[in-house]
Amino acid sequence: MPTAVRVAGVSKRFRLDGGADFLALDRVSVSIGAGEFVALLGPSGCGKSTLLRLVAALEEPSEGQVTVAGSAPGELARAHRLGVAFQDHALLPWLDVTANIGLPFRVAGRAVDRARVSALIGLVGLAGFEAAKPRQLSGGMRQRVAIARALVLRPDVLLLDEPFGALDAVTRRQMNIELQRIWSEQGTTTLLVTHDVREALFLADRIVVLSPRPGRVARELVVPFARPRDAAVMRTEAFHRLADELTDALGGGA
């Protein structure tokens, strides 16, 4: 499997207001193969979102190197080959669902592929809401729009930064089942940032556990469940055992 994303020995320091340095990531190395789904698991404040922002070229590493498809991470964004769904849905409030999902086409200077947009609206289960504005949608629906928008240009790399972080447990589980289905149809190289052990286990091929302050790779785990997965896998004993193991690994630093 060729490498799609390589994070090699990356450290990231932030200058705090007082002038002191804060080490968010300490010599982290992670690689993601083409077509692989990797979950970055860690407690809040472990620098996992920072790592995602480095891959998205929204931050620069203090040390080390990030390459995406062999070039600097900004190249992929400039070529309109990157899809990102943020924790905050980041929908444009003045555009309806169709126009929000079509936005990447317009930014790329291409004609909006209407068939592709309506296919994605169907895929994320929002048929009938094409003309709705973001404020008329529930939190879960907004995140579906954000995910559809991230997928619309068939990106080489998909970054998901706790896209369901703000949702309640029931909606979140439902969104996970849907994301599983959507991802199975697209098979895009994906990096998911989450603090939810079950979410990571259910969705990912491989889980990288980060320990907090400074963020370091504490553990890596290949998820053994075969694809396609459905919700039943979450009720198996192996799932529970791995979930407990990962929960322990998360608490290990504390």
Partner 1 sequence: MLLGAWGIALFLAGWEVVGQTGALGMSCPPLSAVLAVLADPARALLFQRALGATLGAVATGYGLGLVFGVVAAAAGHLLPGMRGGLDRTSSVIHAIPSVALAPLLILSLGRQATPAALAGINTYFILYVATSSGLAGTSPVLRDLMSVLGAGRWMRFVRIDLPAALPTLVSGMRMAAPGALIGAIIGEWFGASRGVGVIILNAMQNFQIPLLWSMVLLTVMISLTLFWLLGAMQLGAARRYR
Interface contacts to partner 1, rule CB under 8 A: 56-58, 77-80, 82, 84, 86, 88, 90, 92-94, 103-104, 106-108, 159
Q: Evaluate whether 154 touches 79 at the Cβ level (below 8 Å).
A: no
CB of 58 to partner 1, least distance (A): 6
CB of 41 to partner 1, least distance (A): 22
Nearer to partner 1, 84 or 204 (CB): 84
CB of 82 to partner 1, least distance (A): 6
CA-nearest of 116, 100, 36, 107 to 77 is 107
CB of 119 to partner 1, least distance (A): 20
DSSP 64-112: EEEEETTB-HHHHHHTT-EEEE-SS----TTS-HHHHHHHHHHHTT---
Amino acid code (one letter) for 151: L
Helix/strand/coil percent split, the chain, to 5:
40, 25, 35
Nearer to partner 1, 86 or 183 (CB): 86
Query: For residue 227, what are the β-bridge partners?
Result: none
Nearer to partner 1, 76 or 179 (CB): 76
CB of 14 to partner 1, least distance (A): 15
Nearer to partner 1, 58 or 112 (CB): 58
Q: Return the number of other C-beta atoms located less than 10 Å from residue 35's C-beta.
A: 14
Q: How many residues are there in the chain?
A: 254
- Residue 142, classed as helix, strand or coil, is helix
Distance CA 218, CA 197 (A): 14
Amino acid code (one letter) for 55: V
CB of 148 to partner 1, least distance (A): 14
CB of 84 to partner 1, least distance (A): 4
The token pair at 222 is 């290949």
Nearer to partner 1, 103 or 132 (CB): 103
Nearer to partner 1, 24 or 82 (CB): 82
Q: Return the number of other C-beta atoms located less than 10 Å from residue 29's C-beta.
A: 13
Nearer to partner 1, 55 or 141 (CB): 55
